[in-house]
């Protein structure tokens, strides 16, 4: 066989994503792109803020072809950038971080791999609430970890009893993602405090260290005055992962970071491990140009109003069409229940109306579909008749 059995298997299990993509290309060829309503990818369509363009131009002007401007750097990233980020986080989280607690990474995806590489011995377990970002399974496997998936409540809030049952002496980490992909759920302060207390209690019970890893690339995309609680404040053994992919609409630029809680057990070792892992996973360091840009634009983000409008358009339309769902508090995903158990069949029925969405089973949430609403308003508006017609077939 040309390739590893494991990758062959992964290709098979994730083939529905590929198929969706290929079907989409085919449909667009057949009907024209404007007549295909593609909600399948979380690829932000809103332009980056003006400040990003200004700073990008300024950085290129300052160090375009200056000798040294494009050299290798410390694997952890530029000190200036890390200092800016640490100052920004210290203010926002009321936890005193310095540049030494920040590791610049190739997006949140790169950061997750760096964290898992650093934390896991073979067979170490990581507890992950369902539904979850599909790539977690692959990332955990990359580093010999074992994912232990746990149910959330009906409204996708954290089910602390389920987490408690899942934590054992082999648990190295609990991974949360809020605002969540695929549900848009934002965990509230009470559940974060409860989770932190639970981790504390389990560490004492087993005499182990358990790290709370919070994957938060959507933390700036929240609605209706909802706040994302600070995990750095709530839990000492915590690592915050984020990126600028969604907050600045620049996912192709691969820029993000890890912030390690200064109070975490073994903090210096962890930072050393993360830095080495950034190197030996082949990332080496986060992109130099982007580090220079994002360092200077702390607190500047895409206007969330764009996404709020799209969320409301989509939710209003789907309510009227008879869909059932939890209104999302953040991110740009909606995760409605399907009127039949077979979410793949429902996705196929939508496809016949040129609507592309992803079956929930790929995220550990069968009986649902994921709709990404980071699309033009016209896509949402023009897809509504199709959504309504398909729902009608099943009611």
- Which residues bind to ligand PLP, rule: CB under 6 A? 42, 107-109, 133, 177, 181, 215, 217, 243, 245, 251, 256
Q: How far is the CB of 392 from ligand PLP (least distance, A)?
A: 32
Question: Closest distance between ligand PLP and the C-beta of residue 287, in Å?
Answer: 12
Q: Which is nearer to ligand PLP, 207 or 252 (CB)?
A: 252
DSSP string, 213-280: EEE-TTTT-B-TT--PPPHHHH-SSEEEEEESTTTTT-GGG--EEEEE-TTSTTHHHHHHHHHHHHHH
Nearest approach in angstroms of CB 43 to ligand PLP is 8
In the complex with ligand PLP, the residue whose CB is nearer, 145 or 217, is 217
Q: How far is the CB of 388 from ligand PLP (least distance, A)?
A: 28
Chain residue whose CB lies nearest ligand PLP: 107
User: Toward ligand PLP, which CB reaches closer, 202 or 311?
Assistant: 311
176's CB contacts (< 8 A; 6+ apart) are 129, 158, 187, 195, 212, 213, 214, 215, 231
Longest dimension (CA), the chain: 67
Question: At closest approach, how far in Å is the CB of 386 from ligand PLP?
Answer: 25
Neighbours of 49 (CB within 10 A): 17
Picking from 47, 63, 96, 88, the residue whose alpha carbon sits closest to that of residue 288 is 63
Minimum gap (Å) between residue 394 Cβ and ligand PLP: 29
Are 395 and 339 contacting, i.e. CB atoms less than 8 angstroms apart? yes
DSSP-derived secondary structure letter, 173: E
Q: How far is the CB of 186 from ligand PLP (least distance, A)?
A: 13
Cβ-based neighbour number of residue 325 at 10 Å:
18
Q: Which is nearer to ligand PLP, 136 or 325 (CB)?
A: 136
Residue number with CB closer to ligand PLP (42 or 129): 42
* Identity of the residue, 251 or 364, whose beta carbon is nearer to ligand PLP in the bound complex: 251
Cβ contacts of residue 392 below 8 Å, gap of 6+?
322
Least CB distance from residue 77 to ligand PLP, whole Å? 15
- From first CA to last CA, the distance across the chain in angstroms is 47
Residue carrying the six token digits 């089973």: 361
Nearer to ligand PLP, 290 or 391 (CB): 290
Which residue lies nearer to ligand PLP by CB, 283 or 387?
283
Assess contact for 299 and 308: CB atoms under 8 A.
no
């Amino acid at each position: 066989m040309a390739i590893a059995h494991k990758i062959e298997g992964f290709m098979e299990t994730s083939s529905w994503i590929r198929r969706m993509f290929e079907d989409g290309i085919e449909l667009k060829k057949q009907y024209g792109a404007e007549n295909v309503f593609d909600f399948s990818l979380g690829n932000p369509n809103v332009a980056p803020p003006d400040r990003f363009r200004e700073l990008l131009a300024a950085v290129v002007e300052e160090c375009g072809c200056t000798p040294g401007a494009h050299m290798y750097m410390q694997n952890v990233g530029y000190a200036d950038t890390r200092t800016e980020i640490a100052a920004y986080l210290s203010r926002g989280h009321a936890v005193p971080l310095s540049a030494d607690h920040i590791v610049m990474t190739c997006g949140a995806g790169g950061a997750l791999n760096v964290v898992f590489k650093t934390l896991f011995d073979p067979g170490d377990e990581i507890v992950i609430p369902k539904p979850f970002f599909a790539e977690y399974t692959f990332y955990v496997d990359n580093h010999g970890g074992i994912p232990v998936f746990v149910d959330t409540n009906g409204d996708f809030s954290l089910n602390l009893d389920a987490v408690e049952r899942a934590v054992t002496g082999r648990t190295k980490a609990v991974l949360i993602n809020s605002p969540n992909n695929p549900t848009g759920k934002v965990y509230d302060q009470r559940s974060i405090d409860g989770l932190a207390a639970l981790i504390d209690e389990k560490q004492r019970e087993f005499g182990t260290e358990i790290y709370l890893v919070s994957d938060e690339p959507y933390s700036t995309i929240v609605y209706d005055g909802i706040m994302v609680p600070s995990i750095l404040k709530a839990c000492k053994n915590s690592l915050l992962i984020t990126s600028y992919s969604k907050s600045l609409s620049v996912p192709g630029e691969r820029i993000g970071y890890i912030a390690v809680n200064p109070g975490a057990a073994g903090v210096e070792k962890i930072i050393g491990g993360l830095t080495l892992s950034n190197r030996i996973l082949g990332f080496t360091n986060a992109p130099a140009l982007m580090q220079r840009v994002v360092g200077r634009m702390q607190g500047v983000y895409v206007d969330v109003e764009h996404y709020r409008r799209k969320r409301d358009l989509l939710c209003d339309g789907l309510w009227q069409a008879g869909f059932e769902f939890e209104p999302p508090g953040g991110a740009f995903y909606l995760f409605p229940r399907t009127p039949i158990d077979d979410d793949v069949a429902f996705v196929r029925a939508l496809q016949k109306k040129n609507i592309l969405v992803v079956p929930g089973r790929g995220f550990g949430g069968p009986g649902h579909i994921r709709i990404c609403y980071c699309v033009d308003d016209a896509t949402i508006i023009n897809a509504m008749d199709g959504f309504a017609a398909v729902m009608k077939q099943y009611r």
